[in-house]
Every structure is written in C-alpha cells, then in structure tokens.
Structure 1
C-alpha cells in the first residue's frame, strides 16, 4: 500500500497501551475524575504528551457537559470594531483554554437575521455566548432560550450582562467639540442602511448629534444627514453626494462633518481630497472609535477602548460559565474620550 504521507491518528487506545492502563482509566485520568491514583494520572499525562494526544472536545462534552468553546454572535466581521472586539475577547478565551466559534447575524445572515440563532444547536456546541451589538430585531425568544450564559458588547438587553459605551454621549461629544470651535452648519454622515435589523449604534449617535444642536438652538437640517453605514467607501460616496446637492459650491457646503465611525471619516477625507476641499481649513471632520489607522489620517475622533471591551466581556462570560449558581447581571460602561488631532479646526472664512 502506498504511503499517504499522513501521520497516524493517535487515540486513547494508543495512550492506554503506552501507559499500561485501560482506555477507561486514561479517560478518567485526563478528565480529572476521581478513582485514579496520582502516580497513574502522571503516567497517563506523560504518555499522552509523548504521543501528542489531544482529547476531543466533542468527546469531552459528552461526559462533562462542557465544550470548552465560546460562541460569538457578530453582525459584521469585516468591520474594524467587530474584529477588534473579537481579538480582545480571543486573548482572554485562548489563555483560558477555550475555542471560539463565530456565528453571523444581521447583514451577514441576509433575510434570516431574526432566526439565525439556532438555540438548540448552539447550546450543545458552546458553553457561553458573546453577542456583539445584538440587534433589537433578533427574536428575543431565541436569546432567552439559549440556556447558557450570554454577555453582550455594544448593546444592552434586559437581564443580560454587557459591556458598552453610551453612543448617545458619543454623538453628543463629537458634535459639541465641533460647536466649541465655532461650527454651526454640521453634517451627520452615518445613518445605517441596515436599520431593518434593529442595530442601534448609528441611531444613538445621531440622537446625540441632534441633542447637541438643539441645546444650542441650532435647527436640524435633514439635507445634512446622510446614509452611510460604517464602510470607508460609503463615507466617500456620502460626501460626493452632499457636494452635488450643494451645487458643487464650497460656500453652500457644511463647515464640518461628524462621521459615525473613523472608517466613514476616512472615506470623507479621501473624497474631500479628490474635490480639492482642504481638511480642516474648508471642512472639519471628526470620527468615532480611534481606529488603528486613525493616526495616519491625523483624525480627530471620539475614542473608545474597543479591544478592552472584548477582554472585559470575555472575562465576565467565563465567570458566568464557571459559576454553578446564576449570578446577577452586570453592565460595565466604558468612557469614550475626545482625541483632538488635525482634522478639526475653526470654520472656514466665508468668501466675500
């Protein structure tokens, strides 16, 4: 028979043969169950290590009821915020010996967003779930029926632990900064085209924008509110559309833009350069997140500790997983902070 070139699979039988015990003893020893002497347990561990044997998580789950895996519900994986939260959570989860399984929501799931979570299958595959910006449009029963711990990031559900920033405060802080340096005609580029799924981040940031304007008795101009979502190219398209609506005349343009995210702000800056609009002399731009690349644009932003949110949420979830008695839900609110760089400045001087 030709050699396939593949290493032979090492199983519990091979470990038992090397250790000189039964497969049942190997199983008990590796799972830490009683009825195995210290010496035998050490012999089995050495045999398993020398053979490179790794216990099957699915097999362990059958006997212990634990999968040693955490599920992550995420609406978008390509967006920086979600990938950064997952990165932070994975640091904690991996250090604790858990695997991470990713499940799509929202736009990733298409029209089946409301039923994407198969709770019967999910609770047998993972010990707990991190829900990133869980949409209000998701069937509540599917979450309540999980029967495993759930911790959210970026959104809050009644009776569920979570980690988040106040997105109304984020929008308010961004707009207040622009008004503090003299701007009064401020655009908000950030309405969410996927609001059918019930994601609240963009809407909450717009609410903060409106609140700040109204406090200063500045009327909200619907013509200065654009639909972008959170993508870079959407920011570019939104500014081009605004420019066309203003008759391609700088004098009719707003003097500042509050972009719903740093990625949208980057798109706005790119489009401004194409239109020979100077940043910030002609147009100030502020974003949200403190994206890893925001410093390259010298972008003023409302920063939030994204990876830290993932780490804290993962620690909270593992605490819930390892606690036999249900614990009271806990909500951790992270503080956003203004980071002033070079993309915001006083409004342009009108051309006389």
Structure 2
C-alpha cells in the first residue's frame, strides 16, 4: 500500500505539504498541489478516511435527513447534494426519516450522536422541539432545506408565490374558470406545502376579483395516478365551466393531461394545464410549469453546508423559481370566455 511519504517524495515536497494538498486545507501553491495530485494518481494513493479524521477532527461526511426516497423531488434534491459533496471530496450519510415514531427517535437519539458527520442537511422535514434540540446539541452546522425550524439556518422556495405565479399565468391568458388540484391533508404535515400552495391559488384569483369555486377544487397525493383521478372528477363535473387547471405538482398535472386525453378534452384548445416543480417528464408532455429547480436546490444547500463546515457562515435564503411555458397552456377560446364571465 502506497504511503503519504512516497507520494511526497515523488512530488518533491514534504509530507506536510502533500497532506495539505490532498486534504484541500492549508496553503499550497497551485504547482505543488498539481505535482502532489499527479503523483498520488500515478502511485494509486488513496487518502485514509480514518487518518484524515484523526488529523483534522472531521469525518469529511455530511448527513442528509430526507423523508421519502421514492419521490422524484427528493431524489432530484439528493442528486444535487451528492454531486456537490463528491466534487468537494465529502461522503454523504443518508438518514431516511420516515413517520415511524420509534425509528425516527432512534435516528435522533443514537445515529446522529455517533458524530460520524461534519454537518446535517434537513430536507423537507418539520421537526418537533425535541428533534430540533437534538440537532442543536450536536454542535454541528445544520441547514434546513424546504422550510424553517426555529433559529436554524434555512432555505426554501416561497410555496404561496410559486402557485400564485402559475395561476397568474392562466389568468393572463384570459382564463376565469380555473380549477385546482392540491395536496390532501396527509401531505400538509411538513411545512404545510399543500395549504400554502392553495393559498397562492386563492390569492391570485382574489387579486383579479375572482372568488375560488370550491366545485373546481380537488385534492390528491402528488402522484400521476392521484392527479389523473382528481382531474377526471373535475372534467366530468355537471355544468363544468373550467377552461384552466393548476396542479400543485407536475406529477399531478401530468395525470391531468392523461385524464384529458382519455376523456376527449383537448389541451390546450379546451383546457390549459399548468403544474409546479420542473419535473424531467414535463418536456415530454409539453407541460407548462413553475420550475423550482430541485437539483439546483440540492447543490445550493450542499455548497452552503461546506462553507459552514469551513467557516461557520450562517444562511437564510429564498430559493429561485421560474415560469417555463410549453404547449399545455394557451389563450382561452372566445366562447369559453363568454361562458365564464
């Protein structure tokens, strides 16, 4: 097994310089760093994580707490975090924090306190006071992505604003009879995303002097199947005057597009559909969406975590989002306007 001394000798530097070059800590000239890196690659030297931890007092691993490994959004965020940490030479330790109370407490009571991480990124979880105190007692940097917890640094999109933007887009196209598919109560636990997005929908309508029609509102589970079932209920409602539909997630919006196809509702000629997320499947369905850039969210969280590990900087950020107009929305037809006025 190749030693650090052998790498240093091959690069023509001291062992201390070689260590700084490979760890990325401390001042090393660019030329010396390149010689050390090339020597390490040629000799097949791999930095010992145990030795690095002993020398630096750090594990070079970041813990990520996430509520669901099967959802597209969380996987996208995780991709952004993982890519950023890997490029910086950090490992990722994943904690799948489910609603199983016993398992959840074990993660906070024991797993985190093994101190195998240098910081923790909390993704879309609303923690109780005990869980928050457990994080604070670690004495490690913590960043909350997707909400705010007490005094912990956080970053999130404005869920009310993104839905208001989606609804405003349909209103700007002349749609007045606008339906809405939101998340049901089971999904309102963490940071109340469904209720905030619904409030954005209602606020946009009110700003145009329109009262929300409860007969045009359905709840679903943020899946394609759920959106499909909810949209069928809306499309088939007696006396339906709906010409536009806002879905609180792209997956539910895609379900609404599939329901429209099966029920003979033409999109966008008869029905304009918009979602929220920026799902990778959106372009295949020509879905207009408000892109919340989940991979970029993960990268941003990881970048700020690395800065906090190095310098203990604090952060509170509202994350960006953008309207992406595709073929699923269009101006309301004149006859539709007459029906909805």
What TM-score, normalized by structure 1, do the two folds share?
A: 0.77
The Cα offsets for residues 125-180 of structure 1, whole Å up to 9 and x where unpaired, read as 21111111222557332332332111122222333333322111101111111112
2:120 aligns with one of 126, 129, 141 = 129
Report the equivalent of 1:118.
108
Deviation at 1:261, TM superposition (A): 1.4
Check conservation: 1:171, 1:205, Cα contact below 8 A.
yes
Please, which of 231, 249, 255 is the counterpart of residue 267 of structure 1? 255
**Does the Cα contact within 8 Å between 1:15 and 1:47 map onto a contact in 2?**
no
Following superposition, the deviation at residue 29 of structure 1 comes to: 9.4
Per the TM alignment, residue 256 of structure 1 is displaced from its structure 2 partner at its CA by 1.5
Partner of 2:78: 86
1:318 positional shift: 0.6
Q: Based on CA coordinates, which of the two structures has the bigger radius of gyration?
A: 1
| Contact 2:126-2:149 within 8 A present in 1 as well | no
Per the alignment, in what secondary structure is the counterpart of residue 189 of structure 1? strand
Inter-CA distance 299–113: structure 2 relative to 1 (3 Å threshold): farther
Corresponding residue of 2:156: 164
Deviation of 1:243 after TM superposition, in Å, equals 3.9
Mapped pair 1:295 → 2:283: yes
CA 1:136–1:173 in structure 2 vs 1: closer, same or farther (change >3 Å)?
farther
* Structure 2 equivalent of residue 337 of structure 1: 322
Matches within 5 A, 1:1-352: 15=3, 52=44, 54-58=46-50, 60-62=52-54, 64-106=56-98, 109-112=99-102, 115=105, 117-118=107-108, 120-123=110-113, 124-136=115-127, 139-195=131-187, 197-244=189-236, 246=237, 249=238, 251-252=239-240, 254-323=242-311, 326-327=312-313, 329-348=314-333, 349-350=335-336
TM-score (norm 2): 0.80
**Distance in 1 between residues matched to 2:305 and 2:216, nearest whole Å:** 41
Alpha-carbon deviation of 1:55? 4.7
| CA displacement at 1:77 relative to structure 2 | 2.5
- Which stretches in structure 1 are left out of the alignment for 5+ residues? 1-9, 20-26, 34-43
Change (3 A) 1:30 1:168: same
| Residue 113 of structure 1, CA deviation | 7.6
* Aligned length in residues: 319
When residues 18 and 90 of structure 1 are mapped into structure 2, their CA distance, relative to the original with a 3 A threshold, is closer
- Deviation for aligned residue 1:120: 4.4
User: For the residues of structure 2 that align with 1:45 and 1:306, how far apart are their CA atoms?
Assistant: 33
Q: Would you say the 8 A contact 1:74–1:103 is kept in 2?
A: yes
Residue aligned with 1:294, SS: coil
CA distance in 2, matches of 1:45, 1:217: 64
Q: Residues 201-242 of structure 1: CA distance to partner in whole angstroms, max 9, x if unpaired?
A: 222211111111222232223332222232222111211233
Q: Cα offset for 1:346?
A: 3.1
* Cα 1:292–1:16 shift into 2, 3 Å: closer
How many angstroms apart in 1 are the aligned matches of 2:315 and 2:256?
A: 38
What whole-Å deviation, never above 9, does each CA across 1:41-100 have from its counterpart, x for those lacking one?
A: xxx999987775645535643564311111111122332222222222222211111011
